[in-house]
Amino acid sequence: MTTVSNGVNVQALLDAREALKGAPEAAQFTWRASSRWQTGVHSTISVQNYFGLGQEQSHKEESVFEADHPETFAADDNGITPIEYLLVGLASCLSAGVASVAQNRGIKLNSVESTVEGHHDVRGILGADSDVRNGFNDIKVTFTIDADASKEEIEALVAQSQKRSAVFDALTNPTDVTVEVA
Amino acid sequence: MLERGEVANSWRTERWDSLRLLTPSWQTRLPGLRYDGTDPDGYMTAGEVTAFISRFAEVSRAPVRTGTNVTSVRRTDDGYRVTTGDGEIGCRALVIASGACNRPTVPPLSGGIPASVEQLTPFDYRDPAKLPDGGVLVVGASATGVQLAAELQRSGRPVTLAVGEHVRLPRMYRGRDVLWWMDASGVWDQRYDEVEDLTRARRLPSPQLAGTPERATLDLNALASLGVELVGRLAAVRDGRALFSGGLRNVFSLADLKLGRLLDTFDTWALESGAEADPPERFAPTRVPQTARLQLDLASGEFRSVLWATGFRPDYSWLDVPVLDAKGRLRHEGGVVDSPGLYALGLPVLRRRKSTFICGIEDDARAVIDHLRQNL
């Protein structure tokens, strides 16, 4: 196979897969975010530490995100809305998957762009109609990929990326969520 | 040769009435025995398979001890001790040929199904009359799931089919049975040590195929045309509601793309080998339903039964030799089990992709028995 580089350290991922097959406890990760309410519907969320490979881990530096609602919701728009963060997560997860799978298959990527649209009937969150759900009705992701590969190979990259995506799974399958007051 | 019941016991007792072999009859062959009936392109019924295997027992003069159920196999200093319902047997070598489909797999989430909904496995199923009238949720879209979904839908019971990853195949391709292509093109001969991801190959669901006199394709488009409702993989049962994955489109894409690659392989082989066949063809993508339900209320009365077509697994409860991995699978290298003198036959991709088809046993058996004989 010709060696191409999309900048993904696939060998490290393959090594990790082999190593973790026999060590399921080391594969247990906990991702964390901490939120502080500011005022109105504005909160500031920071992310730095997580747990994995059997011990506490840390990103190189803390990332801080502002979440608010836009003026159409009579808010100050200090940041994107929480549900938009789901789109951020989905787009970045699928793109990472496309790059990793492409590298593993020896496919050179020239550009990968995607747009993610979540269709949302806000009557649900407003309590205007009890038959309308709060979350997205559906989500559409459209990829535009320039790569040294056939159309079918590119479609297979996108399909495999969904098959191995944490965020795609989290959005398409139910997850048990506990919310409590400390 | 120990047989718990009669020769071809599982074909006599563990098959639904309408089941036919997936392989055409000309392809259903054992060493020294071929189909000699009038419809070589047809597919044997369970009764015909029983008769075929019984004939093979006679032709091969295999020393079968019927009605002899094995309850335990233990390692001894020079071999194995086999406990049966009919006494003990000592042996130096032992071949496990008890199959891959001894127990239907039922996922733990079945515990959440309301008591008002009847639950069945393929082992419980004989014909649609076995099920109450009313809606049926069939879980799983491999050969079993698609065949039973079609039969139940035709019986007047509205069927909803929960679809996870699956293997789509047309019954006929370029005028020939698709299993002719698998055989002739060499796909079936691919060895276990040549397969890229063996664990995955061994876990591959059975293809969406049925053996019918019409030689009709039974993919998801055919089922949708019959009126079967397609939903995503059954992900959870919560408060009496079945929740389905929203990833249905992608399991369609994965299967359509995989089918395309397989047909490319066939076409390339046909071109290179000069095989005679009709012109290449491609099939319409799996149609995505306009709205796939993400949940349904099992307690509403719409659904009266759930049929678990979620696969089968071997039963090794009698095997008191530590040769199973953490997931309960037999540890073996091409049928040579990880314990001296112990062997296996008839498991998925044991030595080749065709290992679990009747015509696949001959090559596997020769290789495994060669090893056994050299080590006796």
Q: For chain A, what are the domain ranges? A: 28-80, 81-173
> Which residue from B235, B243, B254 is facing A163, i.e. has the nearest CB?
B254
CA distance B300 to B303: 7
Cβ of A160 under 8 Å from any chain B Cβ?
yes
Q: What is the pLDDT of residue B124?
A: 95
Q: Is residue B36 domain-shared with residue B78, that is, in the same domain?
A: yes
Q: Is residue B159 domain-shared with residue B287, that is, in the same domain?
A: yes
- Which of B280, B312, B344 is the C-terminal boundary of a domain? B312
Does B158 reside within a domain? yes
Residue span of the structural domain in which B85 resides: 9-102+316-374
HEC sequence for chain B: CECCCCCCHHHHHCCCCCCECCCCHHHCCECCECCCCCCCCCCCEHHHHHHHHHHHHHHCCCCCECCCCEEEEEEECCEEEEEECCEEEEECCEEECCCCCCEECCCHHHHHCCCCCEEECCCCCCCHHHCCCCEEEEECCCHHHHHHHHHHHHCCCCEEEEECCCCECCCEECCEEHHHHHHHCCHHHCECCCCCCHHHHHHCCCCECCCCCCCCCCCHHHHHHHCCEEEECEEEEECCEEEECCCHHHHHHHHHHHHHHHHHHHHHHHHHHCCCCCCCCCCCCCCCCCCCCCEEECCCCCEEEEEECCCEECCCCCECCCCECCCCCECEECCEECCCCEEECCCCCCCECCCCCHHHHHHHHHHHHHHHHHCC
Does B3 reside within a domain? no
- pLDDT above 90 covers what percent of chain B? 98
Residue A1, pLDDT > 90, answer no
Q: Is residue B186 domain-shared with residue B206, that is, in the same domain?
A: yes
Report how many domains make up chain B: 2
pLDDT band at B131 (very low <50, low <70, confident <90, very high): very high
pTM comes to 0.94
Q: Is residue B51 domain-shared with residue B77, that is, in the same domain?
A: yes
pLDDT tens-digit readout, A132-162: 999 999 999 999 999 999 999 999 999 999 9
Question: In the 8-state DSSP scheme, what is residue A53?
Answer: T
pLDDT average, residue stretch B282-304: 95
Q: Is residue B167 domain-shared with residue B215, that is, in the same domain?
A: yes
CB contact under 8 A, B257 and A168: no
CB contact under 8 A, B250 and A162: yes
ipTM of the complex: 0.89
pLDDT average, residue stretch B170-189: 97
Contacts of A160 in chain B (CB under 8 A): 254
Q: What is the pLDDT of residue B87?
A: 94
Q: Is residue B294 domain-shared with residue B335, that is, in the same domain?
A: no
Question: In the 8-state DSSP scheme, what is residue A1?
Answer: -
Residue B146, pLDDT > 70, answer yes
Q: What is the pLDDT of residue B286?
A: 98
- Which of B291, B312, B333 is the C-terminal boundary of a domain? B312
Cβ of B216 under 8 Å from any chain A Cβ?
no
Q: Is residue B237 domain-shared with residue B263, that is, in the same domain?
A: yes
> Which residue from A155, A156, A174 is facing B243, i.e. has the nearest CB?
A174
Does B209 reside within a domain? yes
Candidates B198, B199, B252, B257, partner chain A, best to mutate (most A CBs within 10 A)? B257
Domain CATH number, residue B348: 3.50.50.60
Q: What is the pLDDT of residue B77?
A: 93
Q: Is residue B52 domain-shared with residue B138, that is, in the same domain?
A: no
CA distance B355 to A136: 46
Contacts of B253 in chain A (CB under 8 A): 155, 158-159
pLDDT tens-digit readout, B76-124: 999 999 999 999 999 999 999 999 999 999 999 999 999 999 999 999 9
- Which of B312, B337, B352 is the C-terminal boundary of a domain? B312
Q: Is residue B115 domain-shared with residue B230, that is, in the same domain?
A: yes
**Mean pLDDT score of chain A, rounded to an integer?**
95
Q: What is the pLDDT of residue B6?
A: 97
Q: Is residue B21 domain-shared with residue B49, that is, in the same domain?
A: yes
Q: What is the pLDDT of residue A21?
A: 86
Across A5-14, B301-310, B346-355, least confident range: A5-14
Q: Is residue B121 domain-shared with residue B98, that is, in the same domain?
A: no
**CB distance B165 to B251 below 8 Å:** yes
Contacts of B260 in chain A (CB under 8 A): 152
Candidates B234, B237, B253, B296, partner chain A, best to mutate (most A CBs within 10 A)? B253
Q: What is the pLDDT of residue B62?
A: 93
The CATH superfamily assigned to A81-173 is K homology (KH) domain (3.30.300.20)
pLDDT average, residue stretch A42-50: 98
Residue B175, pLDDT > 70, answer yes
Q: Is residue B356 domain-shared with residue B236, that is, in the same domain?
A: no
